[in-house]
């Protein structure tokens, strides 16, 4: 999504964060999916995941829903939450 459109969607709809179960999640699996879906390197995947979960990284619903679907396909209960 182009940056100008992304900013417009965030202004109109707000941001979304990623919610994962607090227990029983294999971190390595989650990081593998995050890396595959975002094309970030291994050192950037952990900080990106933490910022997505906390809501510090502004993300649109389509962006995070795509990631959540990939995580669910890998067996991780993931969902998107507004705000």
pLDDT in tens, 13-29: 888 888 888 777 788 89
**At 71, is the pLDDT very low, low, confident or very high (cuts 50, 70, 90)?**
very high
pLDDT at 74: 94
| CA 53 remoteness from chain centre | 7
Domains and CATH numbers, the chain: 3-82 (3.30.1390)
Which pairs from 78-82 meet CB under 8 Å and 24+ separation?
A: 78/18, 78/19, 78/20, 79/18, 79/19, 80/16, 80/17, 80/18, 80/19, 81/16, 81/17, 81/18, 81/19, 82/14, 82/15, 82/16
Report CA-CA distances (Å) from 64 to 54, 70, 81: 13, 10, 9
């Amino acid at each position: 999504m182009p940056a100008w459109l992304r900013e417009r969607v965030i202004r109109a709809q707000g941001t979304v964060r990623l919610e994962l179960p607090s227990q029983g999640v294999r971190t390595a699996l989650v990081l593998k999916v995050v890396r595959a879906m975002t094309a970030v390197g291994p050192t950037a995947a952990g900080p990106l995941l933490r910022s997505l979960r906390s809501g510090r990284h502004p993300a649109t619903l389509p962006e995070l829903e795509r990631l959540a679907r990939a995580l669910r396909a890998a067996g991780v209960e993931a969902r998107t939450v507004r705000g």
